[in-house]
Chain A
Amino acid sequence: MEIIVKDLTFTYSKKTKSLAFRALSGVSLNVKEGEIFGIIGKTGSGKSTFVQHLNGLIKVQKDSGSIIIGDFDLTDKKCDYKLLRAKVGMMFQYPEHQLFAETVYDDVAFALKNFAPDLTEKEIESRVREAVTITGLNYDLIKEKSPFDLSGGQRRRVAIAGVLVAKPEILILDEPAAGLDPKGKREFLELLLRLKNDFVKTIIIVSHDMNLVAEYCTRAAVFMGGEILATGTPKEIFSDEMLIEKSGLDLPLTASLTEKFKVKGVAVDSDLTVDGFVESLCRALKGGKI
């Protein structure tokens, strides 16, 4: 499913003039199937408002642009949001805070029971097993446990299993690695790659972590003040000095190293992933004077 957003504008408290706040203005964006798309920008730049549009949690306001996702036209009044939300999964910041059920099994099965009420208990069980297992948890050990007895990292896995169980084609992650320790973070990102290969087709990541964006995203969009400043590959974005200055973004480690090497006279031209950076650094050093 391709995502096509045209000229999207959104205003909070539209009716009360004195409190109206325009969170998005004229945002246009295409995300193709198979991408890992990054959405970056400072707090309050409209990122969250934007992604919440993509599964109809925020409805497109009248005469404020359009969103088409696969066969769904989100400006259409008859749009089936429930079906859309099954196809476009969304994981909020600190998703472990939304766990509520008595057992891990019940919590993970929640989405499935909502989206596909006709499934038999056996089918539900096998889907839940699949979703929990792919997050790297031991299903048989954990299924009867209370989610509140788990560790932070485990809880987050349960929460993401609760989204994955509906088998969404597009997965939206809002700050997926926030609040995890380094090990948890690494494992979580590995999980993300695993998902991308055989579970979901498209992933959209909202993040402040530029290293994550540079390492994993095929493309990214920079938000500022409710507008998109630029869209492009991490390399295009992070090598645009004017853009970085204007948007106040951090550089990923690979990009700042590239700059430092450039000052020293070594031109490293990579895609800004760690492996790519090391590769082209070696090439530059071997071929160069040093």
Chain B
Amino acid sequence: MRDLSFGSYFPAISFVHKMDARAKILIAVAYMVAVFLVTAFHFLGFGACLLFVLIATIAAKVPFKLVLKSIKTIIFFVVFSAVLQLFFNKSGTVVFWVITDVGLLNAGFIIARIILIVLGASLLTLTTSPVELADGIEGILYPLKWIKFPVHEFALIMSIALRFIPTLIDETDRIIKAQKARGADFESGNIFKRAKALIPVLIPLLISSFRRADELADAMDSRCYAGSKNRTKYKKMHFTLRDLLGVILVAGLIVGIVFLNNFYLLSELATIAGAL
């Protein structure tokens, strides 16, 4: 489990790594909006999104293979959605057996959409450490303080959760090994048998999580942690030219896609008008 996978940070010094976390999160959200703006059958928009991810990957000095690896974790989901489209989409003309041309197009569309979103999301987590991510989200949610939303506590909960993911993975790894040493078998049998085999792992994991939570709370109490009041930050975030460039790029992407959509619409309208 030591291998990198979806959601882990890839340490490097690069243009993207140095960007403001708030900007990065906003850009990632905007990018996802862009992916969703691409309407069916206009694959050119997906090309633009892919180009955006490629540029960002190069600027982030992250090996493209690592970014691609994130797809591996969701491959089942991708295939499942595509198959659903293939077999249950009844519109269009039948190409083969029950598969229609619209179904085929839709399947391709969904595959492209999911993969592009996951690529973007994994690029964000690869270039932003969990702590920065939590800080960034806190920064973005800051206006919600107005309506008495406990932004700082929310961010703290999130950063603790993120912080403990590797610890929990290690712990899981250890418990799995300990139970394997006692002959536990996680790799064979049907799905029910395998689910049952997980009980000896989940129960110790749950117990140790509670223990850890208790210890952490005590440690925070003993250092007089008192939430957000009058709390200053060790690392201040600054919006720089770098971030502006990223925002401009993603804005360009959205404008381009909207334009593309409307361009098709316009040309279609034009042909309809021409036909009339």
List the interface of chain A (C-beta within 8 A of B).
12-13, 15-16, 18-19, 52, 55, 57, 82, 85-86, 89-92, 95, 97-101, 110-111, 114-115, 148, 162-163, 166
Contacts and interface: CB of A to CB of B under 8 A. Distances in A.
B183 A98 contact: no
Interface stretch (B101-109, B171-179, B244-252): B171-179
Contact of A97 (B2, B4, B175): B175
A148 B183 contact: no
A106 B3 CA distance: 34
B191 interface: no
A116 to B, nearest CB: 9
Nearest to A21: B2
A182 to B, nearest CB: 24
Interface residues of B, number: 23
Given A99-B204, A100-B200, A100-B203, A111 B183 contact: yes
Nearest to A115: B183
A95 B180 CA distance: 13
A286 B258 CA distance: 99
Nearest to B175: A98
Nearest to B208: A97
Contacts of B2: 12-13
B175 A114 contact: no
Contacts of A82: 183, 185
B235 interface: no
A16 B181 CA distance: 28
Contacts of A162: 182
Given A19-B4, A85-B183, A114-B182, A100 B177 contact: no
A15 B208 contact: no
Nearest to B176: A57
Given A12-B2, A16-B66, A92-B174, A148 B180 contact: no
Interface in B192-219: 199-201, 203-204, 207-208
Given A15-B3, A82-B185, A114-B185, 7 more contacts: A19-B4, A100-B203, A110-B182, A111-B183, A115-B183, A148-B207, A166-B183
B184 interface: yes
Nearest to A112: B183
